[in-house]
Amino acid sequence: MDKKLKEILLNKNIWFFTAITFIFFGMLIKMEFAADSYATLTFSLRELIGQFAPLGRFVLVIAFGITKILELKSETTYLLSYILAIVCMSVSLYKLYNLIKPDIQSNIAKKIIPILIILNAFSIELFLYIEKGIMVFAVLMCILAVCDIKKWLETKQKKYLITTFIFMLLANFSYQGVVGIFVAISLVYILKYSKNIKQFIVNNVVVALSYGIPAIIDYALIKILYSSGRVSGSIILSESLQKIFTNTQGMITSTYGILPEYFLMTFIILAILLLIYEIIKQKIDIKNKVIDILKVVYIIAGVIFATVAPQLMQNTDSIWFVARSTYTYAALFGILVLYMFMNYKINKEVKYITIILSIVLLVVQFYRFSVVETDRYKVNAIDYEITRKIVNQIDEYEKETGNKITKLAVYEDESLEFTYSGRFATGDTNLKAYYKDWSIQYIIRYYSGRYLELVAPDSDMEEEFKQEDWTTFENEQIIFEGDTLNICRY
């Protein structure tokens, strides 16, 4: 045991990938909040189970259930989740590095490719929730599953299918939004270990079942145990497909604003062109060149399908494209680079062009992550100040009137904004806590310990609120009436 620990501590590659992880996510060691975090941290054990079990995130329920039973402080829960996320990301990078190492000659490429694939542009959202440790744990489970499916492709030993199944089941029980990364990486190895059409079909079926069966089990458990949730309700296939198609287009071109518009798409196109160049310059006949190009198409189509497939299992109204739930797509550039370095004798020019492109992508990605992370704390600070002032107003009102505030009514102005002026927000990332009525309820609960019952707005007051003597804080206004705190959000 001591020898094994010594080997780990002296392994430069482990420390390299740990350092890279800290470079991108080290700022987040200080506690930060998504709008959901205030709810998760103040939930009772029963509320926690009611929130996450219907989503099929059973590992999350167990892990956070333990923190509730032990009555850990919020700061301790956050730190443990953060440490787990850092460890799981670092180990995932290291495991993928060891997986691809035998197939790639370039030492630089060996280390850059795992970063491009796993620590991709959409990985930032996995780190912006209190459950970050479990979300990145799901990524690690997928990487371990890839390692074992590769062993099955090499040896055809059934024990590797069993371990792959276990890892993928744990991934689905942790966070379903990342499980497509298993398919994305496996596609490259399906091509490597398929010497004929029959093998290709069999390998695809096995990988598809390794991906699909755990997902179906998770889905079935939700349907059996819970009658509500994202997988319940109606699925209108035509509307779902249209919604997925529209959102996929937006994801490809905008990357949710995490990277500049068309930026990642441009890099993916450049990777495709470099691959086509490598294919064309080979001394093989036209037929084989066409087959090689079709292999690239297969990878691209497979990655996109693996990205959007989980959306098909949700009811039509619940389809929601955000970075964390489409994590797999952002790995496409890295997957294409991996495939190119594995299968072609690349000359120095193409090698350097690819490495330079990769470094540029990562530098821009790091800068954009910094913007997201910095603005996260600024949004949190404003949310805190508003809440502190509201709680003080509640205290003063109760002292002056003798009324006890027990209810919360939330009103919405037509000019309601997602976040505060000048702050970056996308999807669910960096939304102000005062954007949603339920998060207002929980941020007040988190900072004051007060549980305010959320009640329907009064229609008369809704018409008159602009003319009333409301107290204003940033983009929010409040007024008290009896036992009710009324908040209008802008």
pLDDT bracket for residue 100 (50, 70, 90): very high
- Per-residue pLDDT tens for 139-152? 999 999 999 999 99
Q: Are 333 and 361 in contact (CB under 8 A)?
A: yes
- Per-residue pLDDT tens for 101-110? 999 999 999 9
Q: Are 179 and 59 in contact (CB under 8 A)?
A: no
- Per-residue pLDDT tens for 387-438? 999 999 999 999 999 999 999 998 877 677 889 888 999 888 999 999 888 8
Residue 301 CB neighbour total at 10 angstroms: 11
Angle subtended by helix axes 58-69 and 74-100, to nearest 10: 140
Write down the mean pLDDT value for the chain: 91
List all residues 6 or more positions away from 84 whose beta carbon is below 8 Å from its beta carbon.
132, 133, 134, 136, 137
Q: What is the pLDDT of residue 229?
A: 53
pLDDT bracket for residue 231 (50, 70, 90): low
Q: Model's pTM, two decimal places?
A: 0.93
Q: Are 177 and 140 in contact (CB under 8 A)?
A: no
C-alpha to C-alpha distance for 136 and 85, rounded to whole angstroms: 5
What does the block give as tokens for 219? 């889905």
- Per-residue pLDDT tens for 10-19? 889 999 999 9
pLDDT at 466 over 60: no
The residue among 460 and 225 whose pLDDT is bigger is: 225
Q: What value does the mean pLDDT take over residues 454-462?
A: 77
Q: Are 97 and 106 in contact (CB under 8 A)?
A: no
DSSP labels for 312-343? HTS-GGG----TGGGGGGGGHHHHHHHHHHHH
Share of the chain above pLDDT 90, in %: 76
Type of residue numbered 53:
A
Q: What is the pLDDT of residue 159?
A: 97
What does the block give as tokens for 253? 């071109």
pLDDT at 116 over 70: yes
- Return the ∠ at Cα 466 (arms to 460 and 467), rounded to 5°: 85
